[in-house]
Amino acid sequence: MNEVKNRSGFWFAVKSLVSGLQLTWKHFKNAKNRRTPEYVTDKNYFNQPDGLVTLTYPYEAIPVPDNGRYRLHNEIDDCIVCDLCAKICPVNCITIESVKATEEIGMTSDGTKKRLYAPVFDIDMAKCCYCGLCTTVCPTDCLTMTPVYDFAEVDIKNMIYHFTDLSPEQAEEKKQLLAKQQEEMAAAKAAALAARRQG
């Protein structure tokens, strides 16, 4: 009965009104502090009980985890165009066309020889489901996930990222080189075959 009495009446109402004002005043006073954009492992991350919680996003942002899965990036210089990523992709968002090189075209940074050109290496980020399987299978670690997550586009076509380093003319040239080499090889093979038949 006593408890009920304490929770009503004029002075209780006044007390509750004043404590409400005190609460907002406390927040107003603490508005000079502001949350800092720190990573979750930072000592301060859970240690900012008061002050403004807003981060001015485009100017500052909480860092994303290292193993976070966001926008894909392909370092085409390191890519051996093995097509593994396109094969494992569950949503078929990676499109790769390859052209065999006529000679060895260099080394990736981990020492693998590159034998294929990629006239087309497109990733459709609008289709991508950010599962990260492609980065797991990539033998040269050239396909990685970056911490970039803010890449909305007005036109959905811009969501297709082109990673090839060949212009269409260069690609055409490489194709012709390959065709020529294959012709030569076929001719040489035919000559060898003919020679063996004669011999």
Partner 1 sequence: MLAFVLTLVLLLSIVIVLAYAERKVAAFMQDRMGPTEAGPHGSLQAVLDVLKLLQKEDIVPAAADKKLFKLAPILIFAAVFAGFAVIPFTPDLVPAGIGIGVFYLLAIISLDVVGLLMAGWGSNNKYAMLGAMRSVAQIVSYEIPAGLAILAAVMVCQSLDFQEISYQQGALINQFPGLEHEINWLFGIEALGINTTTIGGITTWNIFRAPILMVAFVIYFIASLAESNRAPFDIPEAESELVAGFHVEYSGFRFAMLFLAEYSMMVLVSLVAVILFLGSWNTPLPNIGPFSLAYWTTGTVGELSSILWGGFWLLSKTFVLLFLQLQIRWTYPRLRVDQLMHLCWKVLTPIALGVVLIAGIWRLLMI
The site for partner 1 (CB under 8 A) is made up of 17, 20-21, 23-25, 27-28, 31, 34, 51-54, 56
For the record, the structure tokens of 133 come out as: 């399987």
Residue 28 or 46 having the CB closest to partner 1: 28
Kindly tell me the burial class for residue 83, based on how many C-beta atoms sit within 10 Å of its own C-beta (0-12, 13-18, 19 or more): middle
> 53 or 154, CB closer to partner 1?
53
What minimum distance in Å lies between the beta carbon of 27 and partner 1?
5
Closest CB to partner 1 among 23 and 148? 23
Please state the closest distance from residue 32 (CB atom) to partner 1, in A: 9
Helix (H) or strand (E) holding 119: strand 116-124
Return d(Cα 86, Cα 63) in angstroms, integer.
Answer: 29
Of 83, 102, 81, 67, whose CA–CA distance to 183 is shortest?
A: 102
CB of 59 to partner 1, least distance (A): 9
In the complex, the smallest distance separating the C-beta of residue 43 from partner 1, rounded to whole angstroms, is 21
Return the DSSP state at 148.
-
Q: Pick between residue 20 and residue 168 the one whose CB is nearest to partner 1.
A: 20
